[in-house]
Amino acid sequence: MRKIRSQVKAVKTTRAAKITFALNASLCQQAENWLNSQWVQHNYTYNSLSGLIRKSLAAYQNGEITINPTERDKFAPKREITVRFGLVPDLLNFYYSLPYSQRTAIVEESLSAYLDKINQESKELEKYRKIIEPKSKKVFFHPRQNFTCDKCGAGFQNETAYSYAASLGKFTKTYCSNCMEE
């Protein structure tokens, strides 16, 4: 009988179940770049590559992502990554329920699909942030004007008017110095 070369090795310890995978090295690099981009923004939703891989597999388990393990490039350079499953026994059981010969491919494709998903989500969030936090507008000074403040309604003569437009037109909103400071 042909000896089946072990693709993954399961190490059970008293504290945590750990599995070491040989995953696509450039995918791991992409994942780490993404993690770094989150950490510099003080987002610690994912605190390690191992955690991100767990989330990816869980997303596949929950049907949040679709994957195609046949797309996997088996010959791409690999990197060994150890994932701790100790805290999520359900996920470990799910992992062991996967077809033996496809496990690593499924983990790798899940990570790839999950990265696409969260990348897309953070782009959407960035768009939303730009809408709710418009850049502070440039303020222009117009000395010696007769104007009515569009915020407090007070009238001014020969005073400095403030506006967000470089020149004052009939419909340009003008503000007094008090309202501008707020």
Tell me which residues touch Zn ion (CB under 5 A).
Answer: 149, 151-152, 176, 179
Backbone angles phi, psi at 96, to 5 degrees: -70, -15
Nearest to Zn ion of 47, 177 (CB atom):
177
- Residue 39, strand partner residues: none
Q: Quote the least distance from Cβ 159 to Zn ion, whole Å.
A: 10
**Minimum separation from the CB atom of position 139 to Zn ion (A):** 14
Contact 110, 58 (CB under 8 A): no
| Euclidean distance between CA atoms 75 and 172, whole angstroms | 64
List, in order, residues 6 or more apart from 92 with CB less than 8 Å away.
17, 85
Q: Give the type of residue at 182.
A: E
Min. distance of Cβ 181 from Zn ion in angstroms? 10
Write down the least CB distance from residue 175 to Zn ion, Å: 6
User: Is the CB of 24 or the CB of 174 nearer to Zn ion?
Assistant: 174
Q: Return the number of the residue (22 or 179) whose C-beta is nearest Zn ion.
A: 179
Question: Closest residue to Zn ion, Cβ-based?
Answer: 149
Quote the CA–CA distance of 146 and 123 in Å, as a whole number. 46
Question: Residue for token digits 């993690």?
Answer: 35
Name which of 28 and 149 has its Cβ closer to Zn ion: 149
Please say which residue, 78 or 173, places its beta carbon nearer to Zn ion.
Answer: 173
State in angstroms the smallest separation of the CB of 62 from Zn ion.
55
Helix/strand/coil for 163: strand
